[in-house]
């Protein structure tokens, strides 16, 4: 993380890749126009590719990376995806399904048998269609997000990859919540990994960016081609900010995760909290899988607030408006603690109305805790602790 993507060592040369603000380049060399990439995005791609164990292609946003992967599917494509996958990904898939370009099944990704049954049903037959081995998603695509968003369910990634491949499906993993610090899905056999680098890779809530990574050369070529065709290329400032963020990624993940583990324990015992979803708690359904597959449970904790005199949604909203240190805002993976009632987002109405998702930051643990504790007590009418 500290050293990948540095310029070559030469006397007087820069230690960091310089931002190049030029849309076009003098002719006579391979690089001719910035829509095919620029020096900082080359550096970022070499860093993320190195961290995930593949070759990376940077995009303007995370959803552009998702769209590029989906765009490579044949028509009609067949996609099995978690019912609580990122709502933007679900919205994209259902838009394409409504126009006849995809057939989509929503499943509980933690239920391996149900996922593979949905793949088998969509595939129509147990084997990969013959003669299409080289085509991405010719048999179908399994889209995995683990831990899921926002219920933090953990999928059995190795079992899903083996089962899906056996049914002729390719596997895409959105690794935004885990980051390569905690999980490397390509090494578990996934065909392609995507990131909203807007989140933990950038880490400072100041840039939108996406990345797709694969170790299959034809997929990498397909992703680059999609990016050039669609023009979803990142700007040099954003790319530079995300590369700079990656330099401290492991420190930030370690610190925010340590905060999250302790906050989850305290929230579990808090009188204003009904339920905590966090695979770092031993009683969580995802705890054992997380321990077997991941280097840690991550920095996002979701919890359901016990309704006070108001309804569940209003009580949870009162918590988000009562915090002073944490920020009531969407997104995750930044240095600052963010908290949000997910049910307020269009497409997330199926979630418990009192569910709050908290992306834990790197602030002092006791500062975050006294803020949350105070807001929870005020919202539910409990006396100050």
Ligand X SMILES: Cc1ncc(COP(=O)(O)O)c(C=O)c1O
- Residue from 84, 174, 363, 371 binding ligand X (CB under 6 A): 174
C-beta closer to ligand X: residue 198 or 315: 198
| Binding status of residue 62 toward ligand X by CB under 6 A | yes
Q: Which residues 186-215 are close enough to bind ligand X by CB under 6 A?
A: 196, 198, 208, 210
Q: Which residues contact 6 (CB under 8 A, 6 or more apart)?
A: 15, 16, 17, 43
Instruction: Please give the positions annotated as active site.
Output: 35, 86, 174, 199
The minimum distance between CB 7 and ligand X, in angstroms, equals 27
Which member of 41, 149, 184, 337 binds ligand X (CB under 6 A)?
149
Q: Is 146 in the site for ligand X (CB under 6 A)?
A: no
CB of 168 to ligand X, least distance (A): 25
Q: How far is the CB of 331 from ligand X (least distance, A)?
A: 6
Decide if residue 61 touches ligand X (CB under 6 A): yes
Cβ of residue 234: shortest distance to ligand X, in angstroms? 10
Give yes or no for residue 184 binding ligand X (CB under 6 A). no
HEC string of the chain equals CCCCCCCCCCCCCCCCCCCCCCCECCCCCCCCEHHHCCHHHHHHHHHHHHHHCCEEEEECCHHHHHHHHHHCCCCCEEEEEECCCCHHHHHHHHHHHHCCCEEEEEECCCCHHHHHHHHHHHHCCCCCCCCCCCCCCCCCEEEEECCCCCCCCCCCHHHHHHHHHHCCCEEEEECCCCHHHHCCHHHHCCCEEEEECCCCCCCCCCCCCEEEEECCHHHHHHHHHHHHHHCCCCCHHHHHHHHHHHCCHHHHHHHHHHHHHHHHHHHHCCCCEEEEECCCCCCCCCHHHHHHHCCCCCCEEEEEECCCCCCHHHHHHHHHHHCCCCEECCCCCCCCCEEEEHHHCCCCCCCCCCEEEEECCCCCHHHHHHHHHHHHHHHHCCCCC
* Binding test (CB under 6 A) with ligand X, winner from 41, 146, 176, 337: 176
Please say which residue, 198 or 293, places its beta carbon nearer to ligand X.
Answer: 198
Q: For residues 123 and 294, which CB has a smaller minimum distance to ligand X in the complex?
A: 294
> Closest-CB residue for ligand X?
62
Structure token pair of residue 153: 């369910």
Q: By CB under 6 A, name the one of 49, 71, 86, 152 that touches ligand X.
A: 86
Using the rule CB under 6 A, give the single segment among 2-10, 58-66, 134-142, 164-172 that binds ligand X: 58-66
Window 248 to 277, contacts with ligand X (CB under 6 A): none
Would you count residue 298 as binding ligand X (CB under 6 A)? no
In this complex, which beta carbon is closest to ligand X, that of residue 66 or of residue 80?
A: 66
Q: Which is nearer to ligand X, 194 or 323 (CB)?
A: 194
Nearer to ligand X, 39 or 210 (CB): 210
Residues that bind ligand X (CB under 6 A): 61-63, 66, 86, 88, 145, 149, 174, 176, 196, 198, 208, 210
């Amino acid at each position: 993380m500290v050293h990948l993507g540095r310029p070559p060592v030469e006397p007087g040369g820069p230690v960091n890749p310089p931002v190049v603000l030029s849309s076009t380049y003098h002719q006579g060399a391979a690089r001719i126009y910035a829509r095919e990439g620029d020096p900082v995005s080359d550096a970022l791609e070499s860093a993320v590719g190195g961290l995930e164990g593949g070759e990376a292609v940077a995009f303007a946003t995370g959803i552009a990376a998702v769209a590029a992967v989906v765009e490579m599917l044949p028509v009609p494509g067949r996609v099995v995806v978690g019912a609580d996958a990122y709502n933007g990904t679900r919205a994209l898939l259902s838009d394409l399904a409504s126009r006849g370009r995809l057939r989509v099944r929503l499943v509980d990704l933690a239920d391996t048998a149900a996922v593979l049954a949905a793949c088998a049903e969509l595939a129509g037959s147990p084997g990969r269609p013959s003669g299409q081995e080289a085509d991405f998603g010719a048999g179908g695509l399994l889209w995995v997000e683990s831990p899921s968003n926002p219920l933090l369910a953990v999928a059995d990634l190795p079992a899903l990859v083996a089962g899906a491949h056996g049914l002729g499906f390719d596997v895409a993993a959105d690794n935004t919540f885990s980051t390569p610090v905690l999980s490397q899905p390509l090494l578990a056999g996934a065909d392609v990994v995507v990131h909203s680098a807007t989140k933990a890779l950038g880490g400072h809530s100041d840039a939108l960016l996406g990345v797709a990574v694969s170790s299959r050369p034809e997929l990498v070529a397909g992703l680059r081609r999609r990016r050039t065709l669609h023009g979803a290329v990142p700007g040099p400032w954003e790319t530079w900010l995300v590369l700079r963020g990656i330099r401290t990624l492991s420190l930030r993940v370690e610190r925010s995760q340590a905060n999250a583990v302790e906050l989850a324990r305290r929230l579990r015992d808090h009188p204003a909290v009904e339920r905590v979803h966090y695979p770092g708690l031993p009683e969580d359904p995802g705890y054992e899988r997380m321990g077997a597959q991941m280097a840690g449970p991550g920095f996002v904790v979701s919890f359901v607030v016990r309704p006070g005199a108001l309804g569940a949604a209003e009580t949870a909203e009162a918590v988000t408006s009562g915090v002073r240190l944490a920020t009531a805002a969407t997104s995750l993976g930044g240095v600052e603690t963010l908290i949000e009632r997910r049910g307020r987002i269009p497409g997330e109405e199926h979630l418990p109305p009192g569910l709050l998702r908290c992306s834990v930051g790197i602030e002092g643990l006791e500062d975050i805790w006294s803020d949350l504790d105070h807001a929870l007590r005020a919202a539910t009418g409990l006396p100050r602790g």
